[in-house]
Amino acid sequence: MAHRWKNDLTRADATPYAAFMNRRQLMGGALGLGLIGAAGAARAAEELVPNSWEDITQYNNYYEFGTRKDDPARNAHTLTTSPWTVKIDGLVDNPGDYSMAQILDAMTIEERIYRFRCVEAWSMVIPWNGFELADLLTMAGVQDGAKYVAFETALRPDEMPGVSYPVLDWPYVEGLRLDEAMHPLTMMATGIYGKTIPNQNGAPMRLVVPWKYGFKSIKSIVRITLTEDEPPTSWNKANAREYGFYSNVNPEVDHPRWSQASERLVGGGLFARRQPTLMFNGYADEVASLYEGMDLSKFI
């Protein structure tokens, strides 16, 4: 069922230029007075202005194509995304190999403008096109015993120059708790700005979980498995102290090597100010209840 969640405001509500400039002046004044905290609090309620196509498609972490930010844009063209098959298995009623065409036929594509916060403390705003993961899982028929969803990225040494280095234990794997996976904010993206999603952003289909650090939003998915037990996840396997299974955006819990309290919005140039990071990346109203009673400094 599409359209269960709406942006507070969308691109259609774009602020008239004059009003935009006015607010910039107000914010500038606030910054001048040192009221950065207040400006940050106001930001949650503001409309989201998406980053440029260039920001979104030329500044990527996709280590299968290299560890530099511009490597994926340079190298990912070698990935064959058509034909593409996604194996859905585990605790589902209708396991099998689903072609991308089959999946797209069954799903309704919509646009979602989400904040995207990388664990490295940079962020973007991205206008995704895609469908809710819940719809795909419902199509596969989730069985009663299923508690988690495991995801796997394609592993193709011939097409992915980065996997010849042991940066991570390939293939890249990720996972969500079933309630997180079924949450209406959680989506599978197949496009950006109304165009087919570029390879470097995870073509032909990638996960988007906007309240979690970006590495949870696994790219170029070839397998989805419903499981009873918490599945292993790549960064957690690489360094459990630094990357937990949950990895919710949380300004109060720092990465052991850097602060998560603020972030740098990509595209601002040399002199852009950092902005405060929001709890659950600004989606606390929607998702905080999923973690009620959990100590978020322990369940990182």
Partner 1 sequence: MSIADRINPLARKLPTWVVYVLYLLPVPVLLYMAQTGGLGREPVKALEHELGEIAIQLLIIGLCISPLRRFAGVNLLKFRRAFGILAFVYVVLHLLVWAVLDVQTLERVWADIVKRPYITVGMGAFVLMLPLIATSNNRAVRWLGPLWRQVHLLTYPVVLLAAVHFIWVRKGFQIEPILYLAVIGGLLALRLIPKRARVAA
Residue 297 in the binding site for partner 1 (CB under 8 A):
no
| Residue closer to partner 1 (CB basis): 181 or 300 | 300
Tokens describing residue 123: 């962020």
Q: Residue 93 CB, nearest distance to partner 1 (Å)?
A: 37
| Residue closer to partner 1 (CB basis): 81 or 200 | 200
Site string for partner 1, 63-92 (x = CB under 8 A): x---x-xx----------------------
Residue 120 in the binding site for partner 1 (CB under 8 A):
yes
Any idea which residue has 């992915």 for tokens? 160
Rg of the chain on CA atoms, in Å:
19
Contact positions with partner 1 (CB under 8 A) in 38-67: 54-55, 58-59, 63, 67
Q: Residue 226 CB, nearest distance to partner 1 (Å)?
A: 28
Cβ neighbour number for residue 274 with a 10 Å cutoff? 15
Q: Residue 167 CB, nearest distance to partner 1 (Å)?
A: 4
| Residue closer to partner 1 (CB basis): 103 or 300 | 300
- Of 168, 178, 253, 296, the residue at the interface with partner 1 (CB under 8 A) is 168
| Residue closer to partner 1 (CB basis): 95 or 276 | 276
| Residue closer to partner 1 (CB basis): 65 or 98 | 65
Q: Residue 260 CB, nearest distance to partner 1 (Å)?
A: 12
Contact positions with partner 1 (CB under 8 A) in 254-293: 254, 257-259, 262, 264, 266-267, 269-274
Give 31's DSSP letter. H
**Phi, psi at residue 64, to the nearest 5°?**
-65, -20
What distance, in Å, lies between the first and last C-alpha atoms of the chain? 31
Q: Residue 229 CB, nearest distance to partner 1 (Å)?
A: 25
Q: Residue 82 CB, nearest distance to partner 1 (Å)?
A: 28
d(C-alpha 235, C-alpha 244), whole Å: 8
Tokens describing residue 38: 């207040």
Helix (H, G, I), strand (E, B), or coil: what is residue 244?
coil
Amino acid letter, 54:
E
Sign of the four-CA dihedral 16, 20, 21, 25: positive
Residue 213 in the binding site for partner 1 (CB under 8 A):
no
| Residue closer to partner 1 (CB basis): 120 or 179 | 120
Max Cα separation, the chain? 60
Cβ atoms of residues 99 and 219 within 8 Å: no
Helix (H, G, I), strand (E, B), or coil: what is residue 236?
helix
Which residues are CB-contacts of 144 (< 8 A; sequence separation ≥ 6)? none
Cβ atoms of residues 121 and 276 within 8 Å: no
Applying CB under 8 A, the residues found at the interface with partner 1 are 54-55, 58-59, 63, 67, 69-70, 120, 122, 165-168, 235, 238-239, 254, 257-259, 262, 264, 266-267, 269-274
